Amino acid sequence: MVDVGTMGARALAAQTDWSRLPTGAADQWPPALLAAWDLALDSLLPTALLVGKKRVLLYNDAFAERLGSLHPAAFGRPADEVLPELWDASPVGGLLDRVLTDGDAFLDADSRVGWSRPGGSATTAAPDASVAPDAAPDVDATDATDATDAAGAPDAPLLGHHLRTGSAVRDAAGDVVAVVHVVVETSSSHDRARAVAELASALGTAVTVDDVCKVALREAVAAFDARSAGICLPSPEHGGWRIARRHRIEDLSPDEERLPLIWSEVPQDLAETVSWAVGEREVHRSDSGELVVVPLETRTVRAAIVGFREATELPASFGVVLSAFTDLVAEALGRAVVYDAERSTAELLQRTLLPPSLPQSDAISVAARYEPVSEGTVAGGDFYDSFFLPDGRLALVIGDVVGRGVMAATVMGQVRAAVRGAALADSRPNVVMGALDRVVWDLDALWPASLPLGTARARPGMSFGGELFVTMLYATITPETGVVEIASAGHPVPALLSGRSARADGAPRGQLLTMPVGPPLGIGGARPATELLLEVGDMLVAYTDGLLERRGEDLAAGEERLLGVLADLPPSSPRRVAQLVMEAMVPPSGQEDDCAVLTVGRSPAGYRRRTLVVPPMPESVRAARDWARAQLTQWHVGDADQYTIVTGISELITNAVLHAGTESHLTMDLDSGQVSVTVADSGNRGEPLLTGGEAMAVRGRGLSLVKAISDAFGSHRTSAGTTVWFEVVVTPSHEPQAADGPDGMVAEPVR
């Protein structure tokens, strides 16, 4: 039995009984048709003939490869039966018919055509006896059917981008007897060109180095026809190279796309290749084509794109695409480096002017979060503070200087310092705000009248012309009783997050305070104080207007959104509430103004706090574990919860020792049946690197573990360094204890 599936087109034609086909016997063909058929058989391009009104399909070996498993059953059959989608779902069939009827040749530079699989189209039918080729005397009829049925297994060979041509073949009388149809796949070139176009568009909105690298990696996989692509930047630690990679098979969610890139050290052999390519400013291509290293020309940073490919020859269009790709990425990367440097300076200035820590006591817990503006490289004017007054009360301050830039940040720092001075002299809200009016009036004389805040040409001796305004919320709280006295100078009113006891009496989970709002500082006027009682478990949530503002919305819509967030908050500490509110209110695309959140809550009986200074030495990890285990035992925390907490502490201290290189402060709080752990370091070494890790290893593997085993997890930067925290809801051990005693524990959260 002859295996027609392996038979070439010329051999298949030699065994075909042409007299049974609509084409008639080959010796009766017009000379032009015979010449066209000979040229098709000899052509290296996929070439087919559509003969006569029935479009009988004849083709060469290159076209047979494009047909895949439809060959050889397709040979000699009507083309519209073999590939019905060319007529039903694309304009190609119409173009071919037009050549047959009118003789009009065509060139379709970019078509994308596929066809349905067996069971749903004419391609599955057995060849009709009137048109099927007699491939060989001993070919079983089932062979052709089986070959056709097998069409469902391989990929569709004609699915992709193609260049197609159709030309008429005429007989001696000038009548069209056939169409010469040539198909050239252009999918690879098309995809590369598309990748460059998409790259240019995506880089238009990428402003940070991280953003640019993400875009470059995503598009490099298609542009380089690579299994994976990497971008190499100088390592800040070791003088070598670090790399972030993206694999072709990765399908990241929008949330995953927003995560920072994972960087790892480049292996020595690859690092040498990257250094050579960057130093010589030449593209490195391995002999097999598996590795391509392309230097990026930028004045501000050395960098390279690395493509990890199959062992295939690089396409001819690679050089053109490569040039456009690297030029775009290098230009964007150069801008991003400058942007990151300026933004880091602005953010460092902002955070330096904010307090590195907030006071805590057994009765009161305070937390804050600050989020800079998402775009731009200017510092903001939002500020917060908290400090104890001489009589033991706690002062709370949150405010916003109108405008942005170094000037606004400078004014903010001066106002924050002035608040402390005024409150320590006389802490009554009306007295403090009256004193700050005079401070703002004096500061108004220091800055330009005709230029907005943040303008580079501003200089001392010029003024705002009376346009410097500061909004501020000022409050005092007595820790033992929870009595709060609060006043607002043009600032949004805070929200009250009710604890369990208040909710049992019918109070909503979250509500905005009803209180008068006076004019901003610098204008003068009355700012009446409001007195309220903060019960145990209640929490005050203050914020700046950047948390509420959205383009096209009024502040009322932002207030409703905030109340919705507060209504769904689980029982939480002030630290966690500040984190959750910030995460829920800041849109994924980032906010247009900087914003701050300040939370304060009364702690129930049984609140405990312990702190430990941990030196930056490996042996400190075990010492911290032993210290924590001893404290947790004293607090009657169960063994299972102890194991979870100590494991988390071990990971955080290890991370601080390895990456910060400075002493860290370990704090444990027992509050409302949950243990909060904070590790704060003063390191400023940038992003940690994975040493000896695989290219696909996840950065912060220890932090991921902590997040997985804890009930809440978060991190934030301050002017002093990085703070990482987690919380675990705990149950007491079975040892005898007094719930309200000096070391007792309240087992159930009340907030």
pLDDT tens digits for 435-454?
998 888 877 666 554 444 44
Distance CA 401, CA 439 (A): 13
Tokens of 625: 């574990």
The residues, any chain, with a CB within 8 Å of residue 323's CB and separated by 6 or more, are: none
In the sheet that holds 510-512, the strands lie side by side as 364-371, 595-602, 539-543, 495-497, 510-512
Mean pLDDT for 355-359 is: 78
- pLDDT the model gives residue 238: 67
Residue-wise pLDDT tens digits, 157-213: 444 567 788 999 999 889 999 999 998 776 566 565 666 666 777 787 777 888 888
Question: How confident is residue 118, by pLDDT bands cut at 50, 70 and 90?
Answer: very low
Mean pLDDT for 620-638 is: 91
Mean pLDDT for 569-589 is: 79
Tell whether the model's pLDDT for residue 749 goes beyond 60.
no
Question: How confident is residue 494, by pLDDT bands cut at 50, 70 and 90?
Answer: very high
Task: Spell out the domains of the chain, with CATH numbers in brackets.
Answer: 4-185 (3.30.450.20), 189-346 (3.30.450.40), 357-602 (3.60.40.10), 608-729 (3.30.565.10)
The residues, any chain, with a CB within 8 Å of residue 367's CB and separated by 6 or more, are: 358, 573, 574, 575, 577, 578, 598, 599, 600
Distance CA 218, CA 253 (A): 13
Eight-class DSSP state of 224:
T
Question: How confident is residue 248, by pLDDT bands cut at 50, 70 and 90?
Answer: confident
Eight-class DSSP state of 18:
G
Residue-wise pLDDT tens digits, 397-432: 999 887 655 666 777 888 888 999 999 999 999 899
- pLDDT the model gives residue 685: 42
Distance CA 28, CA 213 (A): 65
Q: Between these two residues, 194 and 674, which has the higher pLDDT value?
A: 674
> What percent of the chain has pLDDT above 90?
21
Cis peptide bond prior to 72, omega within 30° of 0: yes
Listed residue (119, 181, 180) closest to 151, CA to CA: 119
Listed residue (350, 427, 426, 420) closest to 385, CA to CA: 420
Tell whether the model's pLDDT for residue 540 goes beyond 80.
yes
Mean pLDDT for 273-287 is: 88
Residue-wise pLDDT tens digits, 141-155: 333 333 333 333 334
Tell whether the model's pLDDT for residue 486 goes beyond 90.
yes
Tokens of 606: 């049984």
Tokens of 27: 């010796």
- pLDDT the model gives residue 530: 94
> Residue 308: enclosing H or E segment and its boundaries?
strand 303-308
Say which range, 60-64, 512-516, 616-620, has the weakest mean pLDDT: 616-620
Tell whether the model's pLDDT for residue 645 goes beyond 90.
yes
- pLDDT the model gives residue 710: 84
Look over the chain and give the mean of its residue pLDDT values, rounded to a whole number. 76
> Which residues in 246-265 are b (16+ Cβ under 10 Å) and which e?
bbeeeeeeeeeeeeebbbbb
Distance CA 147, CA 170 (A): 34
Q: Count the neighbouring beta carbons within 10 Å of the beta carbon of residue 506.
A: 7
Tell whether the model's pLDDT for residue 657 goes beyond 80.
no
The residues, any chain, with a CB within 8 Å of residue 574's CB and separated by 6 or more, are: 365, 366, 367, 539, 599, 600, 601
**Please, are residues 39 and 64 in contact by the beta-carbon 8 Å criterion?**
no
- pLDDT the model gives residue 175: 92
Tokens of 271: 């690092």
> Which residues in 403-412 are b (16+ Cβ under 10 Å) and which e?
bbbbbbbbbb
Listed residue (675, 658, 686, 647) closest to 749, CA to CA: 675
Does the CA dihedral 411-416-419-420 come out positive or negative?
negative
- pLDDT the model gives residue 179: 94
Tell whether the model's pLDDT for residue 137 goes beyond 50.
no
Tokens of 315: 């396409």
- pLDDT the model gives residue 283: 87
Tell whether the model's pLDDT for residue 689 goes beyond 50.
no
> What percent of the chain has pLDDT above 70?
72
| Burial (0-12, 13-18, 19+ Cβ within 10 Å), 268 | exposed
Residue 496, beta-bridge partner list = 511, 540
Place of tokens 């291509």: 285
The residues, any chain, with a CB within 8 Å of residue 672's CB and separated by 6 or more, are: 537, 571, 573, 603, 604, 607, 746, 748, 749, 750, 751
Question: How confident is residue 138, by pLDDT bands cut at 50, 70 and 90?
Answer: very low
**Phi and psi at residue 382, to the nearest 5°:** -75, 140
Tell whether the model's pLDDT for residue 110 goes beyond 50.
yes
Mean pLDDT for 283-309 is: 85
